[in-house]
C-alpha cells in the first residue's frame, strides 16, 4: 500500500515526490516521458522581478530564498551544477525605465533583490546596454531537464518511478483509498502533477487552468558574456557550454497555430538582437505548454468532493521558483501540520465545481 500516487514527474511532481519521500512516506510516481513537457523545455530562470514595471514576483521573499537553498542542496547531493545563482542583469530600454527602477528600488522589500543599479552604459563583451541596468540577486537558473533526468535515474531502479502513461479510467476508489489498475497498486491518496495535462483528465477540468504555449531558442553567440543572465523583453540564460545560451520565451493562448516555429524564431531573434550586436546562430528550438491560471497563482490542495485526490500545479511560468516551497507546504498540510496559503489553495475556486 502506497501513501501517495503522484501523476507526473515534471518539476512539480519531482519536487513533491522528493518532499514526501523525505518525510518517510511511501510514494509511487507515474510519468509519461515526453521530451516537450513544460519542465523539460523551460529555461529554468528564477527571476525576482517580472515585466516592464519591475514588479516583485508573487511571494518572492517566501519562495525564492527557499528555492535557492533547495537547488543548492541538490547540486551538492549529486555533485552537479544544475543550479547557478548567477546575477540577472535587467537591461534598461530607456531613461524612463531607469527612473522607474530607481524609484522602486528605494522601497522595501524590493531592495533585498537589487544588488546595484547602473545608470551609465554597461560595457560587457557583446552586450548592448546604453541606458544601464539593474543587477538583481537572489535568483539564478536551473538546468531543469538535467535535474529531472538525474532524479529519474534514481527513481527507475529504486522502483518509485514508473515511466508509463497513467490512465485515470483504470483508477478505482473505495472508502480507504484507490486501486490502480484494480488489484495491482493500492494507495491512500493521489496527487495530480500533470501540468497543463491536468485539463485532459476527468477531475480538474472545472478549474480556470489554461494551456499557454511557449518556445525558447537555443543559440550560439560566440563572444557574449556568460557571467550573468540578461533580461529585457526576453531573457538570455547561459547554456552551460561556452557561447551557448537559451533565449525565451514566447507566450501564446489557444487556439495554437499549426506551425508556430517561424513566428517564434522571429520574435525571439529580434529580442536577442536588441541585447547584443554580435552575430548569432540558432541551434535549436523547444516548445511546451505551461499550466497557466486566470489569477496567475498556483493551484494546490484537495479536490472539493474526492477526499483521496489533490492537485499540485498551475505554476504558469514560475514552476522552478515556486515548486520547492509549495511542495513543503502541501506536505505539511497532508501531514496535518499546516494551512495552505489562501491565494494558492485551489479551494478559492470551489464555487466553480459542480458535482457530477
Ligand X SMILES: Cc1cc2nc3c(=O)[nH]c(=O)nc-3n(C[C@H](O)[C@H](O)[C@H](O)COP(=O)(O)OP(=O)(O)OC[C@H]3O[C@@H](n4cnc5c(N)ncnc54)[C@H](O)[C@@H]3O)c2cc1C
Residue placing its CB nearer to ligand X in the complex, 31 or 98: 31
Residue placing its CB nearer to ligand X in the complex, 302 or 318: 318
* Contact between 126 and 222 (Cβ < 8 Å): no
Stretch that binds ligand X, among 124-132, 176-184, 214-222, 324-332 (CB under 6 A): 214-222
DSSP string, 87-110: -EEEE-SSHHHHHHHHHHHTSTTG
Asked if residue 318 binds ligand X (CB under 6 A), the reply is: yes
Residue placing its CB nearer to ligand X in the complex, 35 or 175: 35
Stretch that binds ligand X, among 118-126, 175-183, 276-284, 313-321 (CB under 6 A): 313-321
Smallest distance from ligand X to CB 103, Å:
27
Smallest distance from ligand X to CB 143, Å:
11
Return the SS3 of 53.
coil
Asked if residue 249 binds ligand X (CB under 6 A), the reply is: yes
Q: Which residues contact 241 (CB under 8 A, 6 or more apart)?
A: none
Asked if residue 301 binds ligand X (CB under 6 A), the reply is: no
Smallest distance from ligand X to CB 50, Å:
11
Q: In what order do the strands lie in the sheet with 83-84?
A: 45-46, 140-142, 83-84
CB crowding 236-268: b at 16 or more within 10 Å, else e: bbbbeeebbbbbbbbebeeeeeeebeeebeebb
Return the SS3 of 252.
strand
| Residue closest to ligand X (Cβ) | 10
Stretch that binds ligand X, among 34-42, 65-73, 178-186, 252-260 (CB under 6 A): 34-42
Asked if residue 315 binds ligand X (CB under 6 A), the reply is: yes
Q: Which of 291, 297, 299, 345 binds ligand X (CB under 6 A)?
A: 291
Asked if residue 53 binds ligand X (CB under 6 A), the reply is: no
Stretch that binds ligand X, among 50-58, 128-136, 170-178, 195-203 (CB under 6 A): 195-203
Asked if residue 194 binds ligand X (CB under 6 A), the reply is: yes
Cell of residue 294, nine digits? 486566470
- Residues 356 and 353: their CA atoms lie apart, in Å, by 9
DSSP string, 144-203: HHHHHHHHHHHHHHHTSEE-S---GGG-EEETTEEEETTTTEEEEEEEE--GGGGGGSSS
Q: Which of 48, 239, 248, 324 binds ligand X (CB under 6 A)?
A: 248
Task: Single out the residue of 57, 11, 56, 51 nearest to residue 31, CA to CA.
Answer: 11
Residue placing its CB nearer to ligand X in the complex, 213 or 276: 213
- Residues 17 and 161: their CA atoms lie apart, in Å, by 10
Asked if residue 288 binds ligand X (CB under 6 A), the reply is: yes
Asked if residue 84 binds ligand X (CB under 6 A), the reply is: no
Asked if residue 48 binds ligand X (CB under 6 A), the reply is: no
Binding site for ligand X (CB under 6 A): 7-13, 30-32, 34, 37-39, 41-45, 165-166, 193-197, 214-216, 248-249, 288, 290-291, 313, 315-321
Amino acid at each position: 500500500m502506497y501513501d501517495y500516487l503522484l501523476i507526473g514527474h515534471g518539476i512539480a511532481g519531482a519536487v513533491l515526490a522528493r518532499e514526501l519521500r523525505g518525510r518517510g512516506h511511501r510514494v509511487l510516481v507515474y510519468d509519461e516521458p515526453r521530451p516537450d513537457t513544460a519542465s523539460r523545455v523551460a529555461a529554468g530562470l528564477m527571476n525576482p522581478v517580472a515585466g516592464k514595471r519591475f514588479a516583485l514576483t508573487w511571494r518572492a521573499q517566501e519562495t525564492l530564498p527557499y528555492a535557492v537553498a533547495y537547488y543548492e542542496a541538490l547540486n551538492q547531493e549529486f555533485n552537479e551544477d544544475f543550479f547557478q545563482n548567477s546575477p540577472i542583469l535587467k537591461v534598461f530600454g530607456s531613461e524612463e525605465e531607469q527612473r522607474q527602477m530607481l524609484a522602486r528600488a528605494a522601497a522595501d522589500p524590493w531592495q533585498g533583490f537589487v544588488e546595484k543599479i547602473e545608470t551609465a552604459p554597461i560595457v560587457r563583451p557583446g552586450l548592448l546596454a546604453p541606458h544601464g541596468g539593474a543587477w538583481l540577486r537572489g535568483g539564478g537558473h536551473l538546468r531543469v531537464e538535467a535535474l529531472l533526468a538525474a532524479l529519474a535515474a534514481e527513481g527507475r531502479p529504486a522502483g518509485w518511478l514508473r515511466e508509463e502513461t497513467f490512465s485515470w479510467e483504470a483508477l478505482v476508489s473505495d472508502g480507504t483509498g484507490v486501486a490502480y489498475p484494480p488489484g495491482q497498486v493500492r494507495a491512500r491518496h493521489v496527487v495530480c502533477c500533470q501540468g497543463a495535462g491536468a485539463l485532459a483528465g476527468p477531475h480538474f477540468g472545472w478549474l480556470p487552468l489554461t494551456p499557454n504555449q511557449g518556445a525558447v531558442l537555443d543559440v550560439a553567440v560566440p563572444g557574449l558574456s556568460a557571467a550573468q543572465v540578461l533580461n529585457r523583453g526576453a531573457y538570455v540564460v547561459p547554456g552551460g557550454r561556452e557561447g551557448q545560451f537559451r533565449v525565451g520565451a514566447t507566450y501564446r493562448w489557444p487556439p495554437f497555430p499549426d506551425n508556430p516555429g517561424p513566428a517564434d524564431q522571429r520574435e525571439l531573434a529580434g529580442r536577442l538582437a536588441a541585447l547584443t550586436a554580435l552575430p548569432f546562430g540558432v541551434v535549436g528550438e523547444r516548445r511546451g505548454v505551461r499550466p497557466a491560471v486566470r489569477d496567475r497563482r498556483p493551484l494546490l490542495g484537495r479536490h472539493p468532493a474526492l477526499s483521496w485526490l489533490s492537485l499540485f500545479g498551475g505554476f504558469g511560468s514560475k514552476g522552478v521558483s515556486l515548486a520547492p516551497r509549495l511542495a513543503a507546504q502541501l506536505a505539511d498540510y497532508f501531514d496535518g501540520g499546516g494551512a495552505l496559503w489562501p491565494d494558492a489553495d485551489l479551494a478559492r475556486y470551489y464555487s466553480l465545481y459542480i458535482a457530477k
